[in-house]
Amino acid sequence: MRRLSGFYSLAALIILLPLLFPDNYFVTVVAVTAGLNAILAVSLNLLMGYAGQISLGHAAFFGIGAYGSAILTTRYGWNPWPAIVAGAALTGFIAFIVARPILRLKGHYLAMATLGLGIIVNIVLVQAGELTGGPDGLGDIPMLTLFGWAVDSDLRWYMVIGTALLLAVWLALNIIDSRSGRALRALHGSEVAAEMMGINTTTTKTGVFVLAALIASVAGSLFAHQQAFISPDSFSFFFSIELVTMVVLGGMASTWGAVLGAIILTFLPELLVVFEDYEVMIFGAILMLMMIFLPQGLFPGLQALLRHRPKSRGKSATTDDGTEGNHGAA
């Protein structure tokens, strides 16, 4: 119960927000984007935060999922649900093929390889015009229908994405506390040591890479149906970087950090719009300052702050969250 208390709080927050602020633009529109980003950040965090494998190309899997759904529904008249599954299957297959050679690389070489993968996928999306619509994108993507309940309003999308986010968080939390989750964290500490303990590092790394790609792919399909129009711009190198930033900003190796980072980075540009021409500059400056002064990320930082104040809570609070915080700082 205690382990999942954060999960129940998030669920409560997601349910309460539209009840408290029904027609608020930030709740029904921006929060949907924030939710999608949070799903992506949570999946990337499994790979980056826990397994310690940096990826600068996560948007590629998001894009393959989105285009998989879009192409199958608009060009071949598929029902959206099998299209989502087919998109995920394709993504999983591609991720599985590239995982082995890519995850052999380390540090900056791994960063470069994933970055290259992301750019290659983006170029294919732009160039394969007869299938993807090229730089102009693909429109008229049909909406989702759940047992006759059409997802046709902002509020309904809010509910769908909110549920998907809760599922992703629940999945991530459970994986981390399972046997394979511990294998992942061991791998982060030292690969050689993990192998000595009998962990098959190749299989573990491939597994988490494919899982992260699958989650991203489903998020991409949802995005395609929600927007009804997609273009390669949404899946560029910049978006991959943004996702990495969400994870690191929130605090690596913490699912809640990833969610927090995604929410902040989605709302920040919305709030910076008032600065008009200065927007880009201020965004860059905030990014730099946060990373310089809070290198371990916001969530572990906030946690440490909360833990220092009421001293009486010490023991019970550190058992579960304490280990998370330490990982983030490492």
Partner 1 sequence: MFDQILQFILTGVTVGATYALVALGFAIIYNASDVVNFAQGEFVMMGAMSAVALSAGDGLPMPVALICAVLITVCVGMLLQRFAIAPARGASVVTTIIITIGASIFLRGVALLVWGKDIFGMPHFSGEMPIHIGEATLLPQNLWVMGGTAVMVLAVHFFFNHTTPGKAILACSCNRTAAHLVGINVGLMMLIAYGLSAFLGAMAGILVAPITFTSYDAGVMLGLKGFSAAILGGMGNPMGAVAGGLLLGLIESLAAGLISSGYKDAIGFIILLLVLFFRPSGLFGKASVERV
Instruction: Enumerate binding residues for partner 1 (CB under 8 A).
Output: 48, 54, 101-102, 104-109, 111-113, 115-117, 119-120, 123-124, 126-127, 190-193, 237, 241, 244-245, 248-249, 252, 277-288, 291-292, 295, 330
Judged by CB, which is closer to partner 1: 15, or 123?
123
DSSP state of 231: -
Judged by CB, which is closer to partner 1: 48, or 259?
48
Judged by CB, which is closer to partner 1: 15, or 193?
193
- Residue 213 Cβ, how far from partner 1 at the closest point, in Å? 17
Query: How far, in Å, CA of 301 to CA of 13, rounded?
Result: 22
- Residue 315 Cβ, how far from partner 1 at the closest point, in Å? 29
Contact 267, 30 (CB under 8 A): yes
Nearest in space to 216 (alpha carbons), one of 236, 177, 243: 243
Listed in sequence order, the residues at least 6 apart from 171 whose beta carbon sits closer than 8 Å to its beta carbon are: 215
Between the alpha carbon of residue 259 and those of residues 36, 60, 79, 109, 192, the distances in Å are: 10, 20, 31, 27, 31
Strands (E), the chain: 145-146, 149-150
- Residue 297 Cβ, how far from partner 1 at the closest point, in Å? 9
Judged by CB, which is closer to partner 1: 6, or 134?
134
Judged by CB, which is closer to partner 1: 173, or 243?
243
**Residues 198, 202, 205, 210: is their CA dihedral positive or negative?**
negative
- Residue 327 Cβ, how far from partner 1 at the closest point, in Å? 12
- Residue 171 Cβ, how far from partner 1 at the closest point, in Å? 23
Nearest in space to 168 (alpha carbons), one of 42, 63, 74, 66: 42
- Residue 248 Cβ, how far from partner 1 at the closest point, in Å? 5
Judged by CB, which is closer to partner 1: 32, or 103?
103
